[in-house]
Amino acid sequence: METALKPTDAQYAAIRGNDPAADGNFLYAVTTTRIFCRPSCISRVPRRENIRIFAGADAALAAGFRPCKRCQPDKAPEADPRLERARALIDRRLADGEPAPSLAELAAVAHMGATHLQKRFAAAYGVSPRGYAEARRVATLKQELRNGSGVTEAIYGAGFGAPSRVYEKADRWLGMTPADYRRGGEGLTVTVAIRRTSMGLTLAAESPRGVAALLFGTSAATLLDELQAEFPAARIERNDASGSEIFAALEAVLRGEPVPRSLRLDLRGTPFQIRVWTALQAIPAGQTRSYREIAAELGLPGAARAVGSACGNNIIGVLVPCHRALRSDGSLGGYRWGLKRKERLLAGEKKTEAAAE
Protein backbone atom coordinates (compact mmCIF):
# COMPACT_ATOMS: atom_id res chain seq x y z
CA MET A 1 0.00 0.00 0.00
CA GLU A 2 1.36 3.44 -0.94
CA THR A 3 2.22 5.72 1.97
CA ALA A 4 0.19 8.93 1.98
CA LEU A 5 2.29 12.08 1.98
CA LYS A 6 1.60 15.52 3.36
CA PRO A 7 1.25 18.26 0.71
CA THR A 8 4.21 20.34 -0.40
CA ASP A 9 3.82 24.12 -0.56
CA ALA A 10 3.22 23.91 -4.31
CA GLN A 11 0.61 21.17 -3.95
CA TYR A 12 -1.22 23.02 -1.19
CA ALA A 13 -1.20 26.20 -3.29
CA ALA A 14 -2.71 24.23 -6.20
CA ILE A 15 -5.44 22.83 -3.93
CA ARG A 16 -6.25 26.24 -2.47
CA GLY A 17 -6.36 27.76 -5.94
CA ASN A 18 -8.39 24.89 -7.45
CA ASP A 19 -5.73 24.82 -10.15
CA PRO A 20 -6.79 22.68 -13.14
CA ALA A 21 -3.16 22.62 -14.29
CA ALA A 22 -2.38 20.32 -11.33
CA ASP A 23 -4.99 17.73 -12.32
CA GLY A 24 -3.28 14.51 -13.33
CA ASN A 25 -0.21 15.24 -11.20
CA PHE A 26 -1.68 14.10 -7.89
CA LEU A 27 -4.88 13.60 -5.90
CA TYR A 28 -5.55 14.79 -2.37
CA ALA A 29 -7.55 13.12 0.38
CA VAL A 30 -9.07 14.62 3.52
CA THR A 31 -8.62 12.62 6.70
CA THR A 32 -11.70 14.09 8.40
CA THR A 33 -14.17 13.27 5.61
CA ARG A 34 -12.33 10.22 4.15
CA ILE A 35 -12.93 11.64 0.65
CA PHE A 36 -10.34 12.25 -2.08
CA CYS A 37 -10.47 14.86 -4.85
CA ARG A 38 -8.70 16.37 -7.81
CA PRO A 39 -6.70 19.57 -7.11
CA SER A 40 -9.23 21.54 -9.17
CA CYS A 41 -12.24 20.40 -7.12
CA ILE A 42 -14.38 23.33 -5.96
CA SER A 43 -15.17 21.73 -2.62
CA ARG A 44 -14.21 23.79 0.41
CA VAL A 45 -10.45 23.75 0.95
CA PRO A 46 -9.61 21.63 4.03
CA ARG A 47 -7.04 22.48 6.67
CA ARG A 48 -3.55 21.61 5.53
CA GLU A 49 -2.87 19.18 8.36
CA ASN A 50 -5.89 17.11 7.26
CA ILE A 51 -4.65 16.66 3.67
CA ARG A 52 -2.87 13.59 2.34
CA ILE A 53 -1.40 13.30 -1.17
CA PHE A 54 -1.71 10.28 -3.48
CA ALA A 55 -0.31 9.66 -6.93
CA GLY A 56 -3.52 8.11 -8.20
CA ALA A 57 -7.03 6.92 -7.43
CA ASP A 58 -6.00 3.30 -6.83
CA ALA A 59 -3.69 4.31 -3.99
CA ALA A 60 -6.34 6.55 -2.40
CA LEU A 61 -8.96 3.80 -2.62
CA ALA A 62 -6.56 1.26 -1.13
CA ALA A 63 -6.01 3.61 1.80
CA GLY A 64 -9.74 3.61 2.53
CA PHE A 65 -10.77 6.95 0.99
CA ARG A 66 -13.91 7.45 -1.13
CA PRO A 67 -13.94 9.39 -4.43
CA CYS A 68 -15.59 12.81 -4.42
CA LYS A 69 -18.95 12.74 -6.22
CA ARG A 70 -18.41 16.27 -7.52
CA CYS A 71 -15.00 16.04 -9.25
CA GLN A 72 -15.01 12.22 -9.74
CA PRO A 73 -11.25 11.71 -9.28
CA ASP A 74 -11.55 7.97 -9.96
CA LYS A 75 -12.55 8.65 -13.56
CA ALA A 76 -10.31 9.76 -16.39
CA PRO A 77 -10.43 13.55 -16.97
CA GLU A 78 -12.20 14.63 -20.13
CA ALA A 79 -9.56 17.07 -21.35
CA ASP A 80 -9.49 18.29 -24.92
CA PRO A 81 -6.08 17.11 -26.22
CA ARG A 82 -5.84 20.17 -28.47
CA LEU A 83 -6.17 22.52 -25.52
CA GLU A 84 -3.80 20.39 -23.50
CA ARG A 85 -1.17 20.78 -26.24
CA ALA A 86 -1.56 24.55 -26.05
CA ARG A 87 -1.36 24.57 -22.27
CA ALA A 88 1.68 22.29 -22.31
CA LEU A 89 3.45 24.66 -24.72
CA ILE A 90 2.88 27.56 -22.32
CA ASP A 91 4.19 25.51 -19.41
CA ARG A 92 7.24 24.37 -21.36
CA ARG A 93 8.18 27.85 -22.57
CA LEU A 94 7.86 29.36 -19.10
CA ALA A 95 9.78 26.49 -17.50
CA ASP A 96 12.63 27.15 -19.94
CA GLY A 97 12.65 30.84 -19.04
CA GLU A 98 11.35 31.86 -22.45
CA PRO A 99 8.53 34.29 -23.28
CA ALA A 100 5.03 32.83 -23.36
CA PRO A 101 3.96 31.70 -26.85
CA SER A 102 1.80 34.02 -28.91
CA LEU A 103 -1.85 33.23 -29.58
CA ALA A 104 -0.90 32.39 -33.16
CA GLU A 105 1.68 29.83 -31.96
CA LEU A 106 -0.85 28.26 -29.62
CA ALA A 107 -3.46 28.11 -32.37
CA ALA A 108 -0.96 26.37 -34.64
CA VAL A 109 -0.01 23.69 -32.12
CA ALA A 110 -3.69 23.12 -31.24
CA HIS A 111 -4.77 23.07 -34.92
CA MET A 112 -7.53 25.56 -34.14
CA GLY A 113 -8.35 29.10 -35.19
CA ALA A 114 -6.97 31.75 -32.84
CA THR A 115 -10.38 33.14 -31.85
CA HIS A 116 -11.82 29.66 -31.34
CA LEU A 117 -8.82 28.62 -29.25
CA GLN A 118 -9.14 31.73 -27.10
CA LYS A 119 -12.78 30.94 -26.33
CA ARG A 120 -12.31 27.21 -25.77
CA PHE A 121 -9.24 27.73 -23.57
CA ALA A 122 -11.06 30.24 -21.37
CA ALA A 123 -14.08 27.93 -21.10
CA ALA A 124 -11.90 24.97 -20.09
CA TYR A 125 -9.52 26.65 -17.67
CA GLY A 126 -11.37 29.77 -16.51
CA VAL A 127 -8.77 32.17 -17.90
CA SER A 128 -7.42 33.19 -21.30
CA PRO A 129 -4.08 31.80 -22.51
CA ARG A 130 -2.48 35.10 -21.56
CA GLY A 131 -4.11 35.00 -18.13
CA TYR A 132 -2.96 31.41 -17.65
CA ALA A 133 0.64 32.34 -18.49
CA GLU A 134 0.47 35.26 -16.08
CA ALA A 135 -0.91 33.06 -13.30
CA ARG A 136 1.93 30.58 -13.84
CA ARG A 137 4.49 33.39 -13.65
CA VAL A 138 2.93 34.68 -10.43
CA ALA A 139 3.02 31.16 -8.96
CA THR A 140 6.71 30.89 -9.87
CA LEU A 141 7.37 34.32 -8.39
CA LYS A 142 5.76 33.29 -5.11
CA GLN A 143 7.75 30.07 -5.00
CA GLU A 144 11.02 31.88 -5.72
CA LEU A 145 10.33 34.43 -2.99
CA ARG A 146 9.41 31.68 -0.53
CA ASN A 147 12.62 29.84 -1.39
CA GLY A 148 14.64 32.86 -0.33
CA SER A 149 15.58 34.32 -3.71
CA GLY A 150 16.22 38.05 -3.83
CA VAL A 151 13.31 40.14 -5.02
CA THR A 152 14.89 41.21 -8.33
CA GLU A 153 16.23 37.71 -8.95
CA ALA A 154 12.78 36.21 -8.29
CA ILE A 155 11.04 38.69 -10.61
CA TYR A 156 13.33 37.95 -13.54
CA GLY A 157 13.42 34.24 -12.68
CA ALA A 158 9.63 34.12 -13.00
CA GLY A 159 9.87 35.56 -16.50
CA PHE A 160 8.74 39.12 -15.86
CA GLY A 161 10.51 41.60 -18.10
CA ALA A 162 10.67 44.45 -15.63
CA PRO A 163 10.30 44.80 -11.84
CA SER A 164 8.07 47.86 -12.29
CA ARG A 165 5.22 45.74 -13.67
CA VAL A 166 5.35 43.41 -10.68
CA TYR A 167 5.34 46.29 -8.21
CA GLU A 168 2.37 47.86 -10.00
CA LYS A 169 0.29 44.72 -9.47
CA ALA A 170 1.89 43.37 -6.29
CA ASP A 171 -1.07 44.47 -4.17
CA ARG A 172 -3.39 42.24 -6.18
CA TRP A 173 -1.02 39.36 -6.90
CA LEU A 174 0.64 39.06 -3.50
CA GLY A 175 -1.47 41.19 -1.17
CA MET A 176 1.73 43.03 -0.17
CA THR A 177 5.07 44.13 -1.61
CA PRO A 178 7.38 41.40 -2.98
CA ALA A 179 9.80 42.05 -0.11
CA ASP A 180 7.08 41.55 2.50
CA TYR A 181 5.92 38.38 0.74
CA ARG A 182 9.49 37.08 0.75
CA ARG A 183 9.43 37.43 4.54
CA GLY A 184 6.21 35.40 4.64
CA GLY A 185 3.99 38.41 5.24
CA GLU A 186 5.83 39.36 8.39
CA GLY A 187 4.86 42.82 9.48
CA LEU A 188 1.23 42.54 8.39
CA THR A 189 -1.08 43.04 11.34
CA VAL A 190 -4.69 41.84 11.24
CA THR A 191 -7.00 43.09 13.99
CA VAL A 192 -9.70 40.62 14.96
CA ALA A 193 -12.98 40.92 16.83
CA ILE A 194 -15.35 38.06 17.60
CA ARG A 195 -18.97 38.76 18.50
CA ARG A 196 -22.34 37.07 18.28
CA THR A 197 -24.48 38.43 15.43
CA SER A 198 -27.58 37.45 13.48
CA MET A 199 -25.30 35.02 11.62
CA GLY A 200 -24.15 33.34 14.84
CA LEU A 201 -20.62 33.62 16.18
CA THR A 202 -18.85 35.99 13.81
CA LEU A 203 -15.20 36.93 13.32
CA ALA A 204 -14.38 40.30 11.71
CA ALA A 205 -10.78 40.83 10.63
CA GLU A 206 -9.36 44.14 9.46
CA SER A 207 -6.04 44.91 7.81
CA PRO A 208 -4.66 48.36 7.00
CA ARG A 209 -6.36 48.01 3.59
CA GLY A 210 -9.86 47.26 4.93
CA VAL A 211 -12.06 44.28 5.80
CA ALA A 212 -9.83 41.23 5.36
CA ALA A 213 -12.28 38.53 6.48
CA LEU A 214 -15.79 38.02 7.82
CA LEU A 215 -16.17 34.45 9.02
CA PHE A 216 -18.98 32.54 10.74
CA GLY A 217 -18.67 29.49 12.98
CA THR A 218 -19.51 27.79 16.24
CA SER A 219 -16.41 28.50 18.33
CA ALA A 220 -13.83 31.25 18.63
CA ALA A 221 -10.98 28.74 18.38
CA THR A 222 -12.24 27.37 15.05
CA LEU A 223 -12.71 30.86 13.65
CA LEU A 224 -9.21 31.92 14.68
CA ASP A 225 -7.75 28.75 13.14
CA GLU A 226 -9.56 29.48 9.89
CA LEU A 227 -8.22 33.04 9.83
CA GLN A 228 -4.67 31.93 10.65
CA ALA A 229 -4.80 29.50 7.72
CA GLU A 230 -5.60 32.42 5.43
CA PHE A 231 -2.90 34.67 6.93
CA PRO A 232 -0.26 32.19 8.15
CA ALA A 233 2.56 34.68 8.72
CA ALA A 234 0.54 37.69 9.80
CA ARG A 235 0.34 39.00 13.32
CA ILE A 236 -3.18 38.40 14.62
CA GLU A 237 -4.27 40.86 17.28
CA ARG A 238 -7.59 40.11 18.96
CA ASN A 239 -9.58 43.08 20.20
CA ASP A 240 -13.28 42.35 20.56
CA ALA A 241 -13.99 46.06 20.99
CA SER A 242 -12.82 46.71 17.43
CA GLY A 243 -14.64 46.09 14.16
CA SER A 244 -17.74 48.13 15.03
CA GLU A 245 -18.03 49.48 11.48
CA ILE A 246 -17.80 45.98 10.04
CA PHE A 247 -20.42 44.52 12.37
CA ALA A 248 -22.73 47.49 11.71
CA ALA A 249 -22.33 46.96 7.95
CA LEU A 250 -23.13 43.27 8.34
CA GLU A 251 -26.36 43.95 10.22
CA ALA A 252 -27.29 46.67 7.70
CA VAL A 253 -26.87 44.26 4.80
CA LEU A 254 -28.93 41.64 6.64
CA ARG A 255 -31.70 44.27 6.87
CA GLY A 256 -31.59 44.69 3.11
CA GLU A 257 -29.46 47.84 3.02
CA PRO A 258 -26.41 48.24 0.75
CA VAL A 259 -22.82 47.96 1.98
CA PRO A 260 -21.76 51.46 3.15
CA ARG A 261 -19.56 53.17 0.55
CA SER A 262 -17.11 54.15 3.27
CA LEU A 263 -16.32 50.51 4.06
CA ARG A 264 -13.22 49.26 2.24
CA LEU A 265 -12.79 45.59 1.42
CA ASP A 266 -9.32 44.02 1.32
CA LEU A 267 -9.83 41.50 -1.49
CA ARG A 268 -6.86 39.14 -1.80
CA GLY A 269 -6.92 36.56 -4.55
CA THR A 270 -6.10 35.79 -8.15
CA PRO A 271 -7.23 38.29 -10.80
CA PHE A 272 -10.03 35.91 -11.81
CA GLN A 273 -11.23 35.47 -8.21
CA ILE A 274 -11.33 39.23 -7.68
CA ARG A 275 -13.36 39.65 -10.88
CA VAL A 276 -15.87 37.10 -9.57
CA TRP A 277 -16.05 38.71 -6.12
CA THR A 278 -16.59 42.12 -7.74
CA ALA A 279 -19.39 40.70 -9.89
CA LEU A 280 -21.03 39.21 -6.79
CA GLN A 281 -21.11 42.64 -5.15
CA ALA A 282 -23.15 43.93 -8.10
CA ILE A 283 -26.00 41.43 -7.52
CA PRO A 284 -28.84 43.28 -5.76
CA ALA A 285 -30.18 41.94 -2.47
CA GLY A 286 -33.09 39.58 -3.02
CA GLN A 287 -31.77 38.44 -6.38
CA THR A 288 -29.56 35.53 -7.38
CA ARG A 289 -27.40 34.54 -10.33
CA SER A 290 -26.26 31.12 -11.43
CA TYR A 291 -22.56 30.33 -11.66
CA ARG A 292 -23.08 30.08 -15.40
CA GLU A 293 -24.71 33.52 -15.59
CA ILE A 294 -21.86 35.11 -13.63
CA ALA A 295 -19.34 33.43 -15.93
CA ALA A 296 -21.20 34.79 -18.97
CA GLU A 297 -21.19 38.30 -17.48
CA LEU A 298 -17.41 38.02 -17.17
CA GLY A 299 -17.14 37.04 -20.84
CA LEU A 300 -16.22 33.44 -19.95
CA PRO A 301 -19.41 31.45 -20.60
CA GLY A 302 -17.73 28.10 -20.01
CA ALA A 303 -16.13 29.01 -16.68
CA ALA A 304 -19.08 28.23 -14.40
CA ARG A 305 -17.04 25.72 -12.41
CA ALA A 306 -14.25 28.24 -11.90
CA VAL A 307 -16.82 30.79 -10.70
CA GLY A 308 -18.08 28.28 -8.15
CA SER A 309 -14.51 27.74 -7.00
CA ALA A 310 -13.99 31.49 -6.55
CA CYS A 311 -17.20 31.69 -4.50
CA GLY A 312 -15.95 28.87 -2.28
CA ASN A 313 -12.68 30.74 -1.65
CA ASN A 314 -14.38 33.98 -0.61
CA ILE A 315 -13.55 34.78 3.04
CA ILE A 316 -15.58 38.00 3.37
CA GLY A 317 -19.01 36.53 3.95
CA VAL A 318 -22.24 38.47 3.21
CA LEU A 319 -20.39 41.70 2.33
CA VAL A 320 -19.13 39.82 -0.74
CA PRO A 321 -22.45 38.03 -1.28
CA CYS A 322 -21.39 34.64 -2.60
CA HIS A 323 -24.64 33.31 -1.09
CA ARG A 324 -26.43 34.88 -4.09
CA ALA A 325 -24.69 32.48 -6.48
CA LEU A 326 -26.60 29.27 -7.26
CA ARG A 327 -26.38 26.29 -9.55
CA SER A 328 -28.02 26.52 -12.97
CA ASP A 329 -30.93 24.31 -11.82
CA GLY A 330 -31.71 26.76 -9.01
CA SER A 331 -30.37 24.56 -6.21
CA LEU A 332 -28.20 26.15 -3.54
CA GLY A 333 -24.87 24.64 -4.57
CA GLY A 334 -22.28 25.06 -1.84
CA TYR A 335 -21.58 27.61 0.87
CA ARG A 336 -18.45 27.93 2.94
CA TRP A 337 -20.39 28.41 6.17
CA GLY A 338 -23.13 25.84 5.66
CA LEU A 339 -26.19 25.55 3.45
CA LYS A 340 -28.55 26.36 6.33
CA ARG A 341 -26.97 29.81 6.63
CA LYS A 342 -27.18 30.30 2.86
CA GLU A 343 -30.82 29.29 2.78
CA ARG A 344 -31.63 31.61 5.69
CA LEU A 345 -29.81 34.52 4.07
CA LEU A 346 -31.65 34.15 0.77
CA ALA A 347 -35.03 33.72 2.46
CA GLY A 348 -34.43 36.83 4.57
CA GLU A 349 -33.45 38.90 1.53
CA LYS A 350 -36.53 37.82 -0.43
CA LYS A 351 -38.75 38.64 2.54
CA THR A 352 -37.19 42.08 2.88
CA GLU A 353 -37.55 42.74 -0.84
CA ALA A 354 -41.22 41.70 -0.82
CA ALA A 355 -41.96 43.96 2.16
CA ALA A 356 -40.40 46.93 0.36
CA GLU A 357 -42.63 46.52 -2.72
Active-site amino acid positions:
37, 322
Q: How many CB atoms lie within 10 A of CB 179?
A: 13
Element housing 349 (H / E): helix 339-356
**What is the C-alpha to C-alpha distance for residues 347 and 239, in angstroms, rounded to an integer?**
32
Name residue 355's amino acid: A
Q: Does an H or E element contain 192, and which?
A: strand 189-197
The alpha carbon of 172 is separated from its chain's Cα centroid by a whole number of angstroms, namely: 13
Contact 197, 250 (CB under 8 A): yes
Task: Count CB-CB contacts under 10 A for residue 225.
Answer: 12
- Which burial class, exposed, middle or buried, applies to 244 when counting CB atoms under 10 A from its CB (0-12, 13-18, 19+)? exposed
Cα Rg of the chain, angstroms: 21
